[in-house]
Structure 1
Amino acid sequence: MLSSSWSWRQSLTLPPSSPFDFSCRPRCTRAGPSLVAHARAENNDNGEDGKKKNKNVVIVGSGWAGLGAAHHLCKQGFNVTVLEDADDYGSPDGIGIQGFWHPYQNIFSLVDELGIKPFTNSMKSALYSSEGLEVEFPIYQDLPQLPSPLGALVHTQFLRMDLVDRLTSVSLMAAVVDFDNTDTAWRKYDPITARELFRQFGCSEKLYRDVFRPMLQVGLFVPPEQGSAAATLAMLYYLILAHQKDFDAMWCQGTLKEKIFKPWKELMRTQGCVFLEGRRVTNLFFDEATGRISGIACGGETLNADAFILAVRISTIQEIIRNSSVLRTRDEFLKVMNLAGVDALSVKLQLDGKVTIPNATNVCSGNDHCFGWTFFDLNVLQDEHKGDPVQVIQSDFYYADELLVLEDEQLVGKTMSYLADVVKEFGNSTVVDREISRFPRSLTHFFPGSYDYMMRGSTSFPNLFMAGDWIINRHGSWSQVLICHCFFSSDLRFDSR
């Protein structure tokens, strides 16, 4: 039930021929990123020696989107090259702790194929408002199964909210059902704010302020007054209408890079995938005779291929567009310049002693409601910190513009103050070590009206494809996550030319 930047967007959808066939009902995939990479034509041409020659694909970015596309295309027999730069072209891997919800069976199938066990069991979680602990979320699959939305209403422990306020959430079901993820639905709800959505459907002010607001602040990264109602409805499926057991989440027992991405890339290398580090795209080349992209420039180096996939975050694709006279000739790319990013911040602290923390995963609302944040007990979640005699905590902040400009010492002080507001025992602790990561404009801002500026996965260049949480897929939604957070979301159809 705990919604966060990595939750509702991290589903990976592949075609039926894929070993990652995502077989749950369609409504489960609409709010998450999807990877649909389908090679319609044969992946070969005759070379000069008469032998079949596989087509070459260059993928820019090695986050969930890039690796998901690479994995599927390698299995289809393409020659795949993945370009990485210093920050993995905006991979969301380092932005916050990411959870994995029950419907993400494709990701669980991936780790099974890799032969790894990176996840915890399903865990309880909590939500704090500025007034204190508001909600505790149980492990729903262990409780009597009730029809939606009764499971969430009955089994969730609302500590400071009466039944009348809770029941006002039921009215939102009408909007969630009405939002069928079509282009028409997006255009109907995207122009209004999430705040207006809650007003229109009669959600009580207390339920909105103490529960939905903090959830949206870490789920959509911004206050509801600045978030799209359409994006909110896509997320609300998991808060209201999902099957009861779909609310349960598991967590990676370390960083995604080490636990999942590293073995994933090693597998793809055995399949012929090439990873090139330190490559930052500086230009694209256009072949006027074919009307196709012929190559990508990385400084003084040019990489040629039959097809190209840009699997990068919004701030990076905007940088590529600024530098590319080719992309700037097309309106679809110029519109992308109107999209926006959100700042994020991660503060990992080691304290001088253990702190009693009721739940390992927690969502919080900032004291002034300007930003949302989370905190995690890494002694419980991550293998490397289990058994440590000291407490290790990670706090992640979203829409954190006001915090990114602070010096590290100031950030540590503010983080400890926020922690002490929700768990008093933190006030008696001293920080002995810290690790602070800043992510300016690293998450997509789904502001009202942003749908008009998003791209499709396929572009007006027949061999150039896009990936990311800001991409409109064939169902009329975007793909992340996630923080997500992040998967390739278009139909790849390479013709035989």
Structure 2
Amino acid sequence: EHHNDDDDDDDDDGDARSSSPRGTVPPGPMNLMNAASPMKILADLLPPPLDLAVLAQLSPTSPVTPLDRISGIGLLGAWADFGQEDPVSWERYDSISAEKLFKTYAGLTDSLYEEFVSPLLHVLPMTPGYDCSAAAALSCFHVFALQSKGAFDVKWCRGGIAERIFNPWVEKLTSSATADEEGNNNCKVEIRGGARVSSIQRVDETTKNTDHQMKVILDSGEELQCDAVVLAVGGTAMGRLTATSPALQEISNSDKFYDLRGITCVAVRLFLKPDAVVTEHLKGGKYFSTQLPPCYAASMAESPVIVCGADIGTHIPELKETGFCIYDLQRMHDEFAAPNDVAVLEVDFFRADDIANLSSNDADVAEFTLKAVAAALGVPPIDASNVVDVAVVRARNAVSHFNVGSAASSPEKSKLGEGLYICGDWVDRSGHASWSTEKAVVTGKQAALAVSNDLGLNCDPSATKVIPAASDTPQLKALRTVAKTLRSVAPPPGEDSVPPSP
């Protein structure tokens, strides 16, 4: 996983493209058409991401034509009709697949869908269109293309996430303490690394000898009594916990947690023998040199990050529905900056069950990864003998899967019941218009506020303050007004009740 870093001197331009047509994603900042061109004039009238579809400079070998680009306007009806923070609207669009919305209702051409939309679906919600909720797709695109417009330069973490973010955070938590008026320590944070929760229960009122109302039982058999439990877990973990936790089973509709699915991700870090030639004057990273083979450096000259859709390369069945990102860490991480004893590539695969099951031998996964990277970049594969070391993380069902109808299985708010709270990117779908890590942080703040209010804690208001989502552009506001009027006067026909293409 890669998250934003706070270093203001980090000068990444967020560029992300692949030399393979199927793996091409619009770069940012993009090379836009002439300001006076008809396409540019048309794009100025459209809300994101429809303007990107019109303006994006794709690979020279891309089959996307101007007519294909213009077909993106067909999404206007649904884009204006979908309410990001409207439960009724979310339920309506959650009942159909993204593929059906884009191709059947919006009328996007096959070329535009396969070259532009499909790769985005594979690396943002991390799933193919037929298995992705239309609501999730619109929500995701809304956040990344609209709310992030004007601030889309990506800042990548300049080191390992654990080292740079989580370890300092843990140290800060464990070293913090509050004292009462008499100077007694009232707060101690203890991190149980590697501990696994087997059950969450309520303390039996008839036999309890404590003021606590909840208890958490670990796999080791240890019992932790507490006032409140905050579940910061994914959907599949929630289903597993519910099966063994009476306190969760008493929640209304808790049986729906069993229907939640996850997406498997595989992260592969390759430590390679450095090339004799150091390629310099590259763009887009913290550092501008690499010791990858020159042909690899040339293919990644504009950015240290390459975003690839599914079905890259021929005769690689494991990539049929798997998207992935390639990172040249020599241009991103301080510790690997050239010159170095190794060149370092990281490849993150999404919807990667076949790769996770490929082999328990990391060397086999490394060899497969080299083949996938070569196919994406259109270069000869690096020989496996050049791999000095490899690290593979198989995260099975670890990422939230926003499949069709999944919103009905997700909690609508952060408070589940007395003493039970939850946060995560899959919680409160139609609430705050955010996505991914940001959504998890927002629901975490909401859960913290609920705990504070329920237990009468003196919580710093700034700690739980949630910044409202960015407002719509003037174009989109106008379109939403028209869409709302049309729906009230003449609702769209059909059981899906989705506006047809203009």
TM-score in terms of structure 2 length: 0.69
Residue in 2 that maps onto 1:386:
337
Question: Residue 471 in 1 paired to residue 423 in 2?
Answer: no
What is the SS of the residue equivalent to 1:250? coil
Separation (CA, whole Å) in 1 of partners of 2:439 and 2:250: 31
Question: Residue 194 in 1 paired to residue 98 in 2?
Answer: yes
CA contact (8 A) 1:217 1:372 kept: yes
What is the SS of the residue equivalent to 1:455? coil
CA drift at 1:426:
4.8
Residue in 2 that maps onto 1:16:
none
Q: Aligned runs of 1:341-490 on 2, under 5 Å?
A: 341-352=262-273, 353=275, 354-355=292-293, 356=297, 357-358=300-301, 359-365=303-309, 366-367=311-312, 369-387=320-338, 388=340, 390-407=342-359, 408-429=362-383, 430-472=386-428, 475=431, 480-481=436-437, 488=444, 490=446
RMSD: 3.3
CA gap 1:479/1:240 in 2 versus in 1, 3 angstroms: closer
CA drift at 1:312:
1.2
Amino acid at match of 2:391: E
CA drift at 1:268:
2.8
Separation (CA, whole Å) in 2 of partners of 1:241 and 1:438: 32
Residue in 2 that maps onto 1:32:
none
In structure 2, stretches of 5+ residues that fail to align are: 178-187, 276-291, 313-318, 457-502
1:82-140, CA deviations, whole angstroms, 9 ceiling, x for partnerless residues? xxxxxxxxxxxxxx3x243xxxxxxx7xx5xxxxx398323242333854663451336
Question: Residue 307 in 1 paired to residue 253 in 2?
Answer: no
Residue in 2 that maps onto 1:175:
78
Separation (CA, whole Å) in 2 of partners of 1:127 and 1:249: 14
Q: Aligned runs of 1:82-101 on 2, under 5 Å?
A: 96=1, 98-100=2-4
1:287-326, CA deviations, whole angstroms, 9 ceiling, x for partnerless residues? 4659994222223322222222011122322222122133
Residue in 1 that maps onto 2:190:
275
CA gap 1:126/1:179 in 2 versus in 1, 3 angstroms: same
CA gap 1:467/1:410 in 2 versus in 1, 3 angstroms: same
Question: Residue 284 in 1 paired to residue 200 in 2?
Answer: yes
1:367-424, CA deviations, whole angstroms, 9 ceiling, x for partnerless residues? 3531111111111111111112542111111111111111223322221111111224
Residue in 1 that maps onto 2:123:
218
TM-score in terms of structure 1 length: 0.69
Separation (CA, whole Å) in 2 of partners of 1:333 and 1:139: 45
Q: What is the percentage of aligned positions where both structures have the same residue?
A: 25
Question: Residue 264 in 1 paired to residue 169 in 2?
Answer: yes
1:135-175, CA deviations, whole angstroms, 9 ceiling, x for partnerless residues? 45133699999674486357632232333222322332432
Bigger fraction of residues in strand: 1
Separation (CA, whole Å) in 2 of partners of 1:119 and 1:488: 29
Amino acid at match of 2:80: V
Separation (CA, whole Å) in 2 of partners of 1:207 and 1:334: 39
Greater CA drift, 233-242 or 124-133: 124-133
In structure 1, stretches of 5+ residues that fail to align are: 1-95, 101-107, 112-116
Bigger Rg over Cα = 2
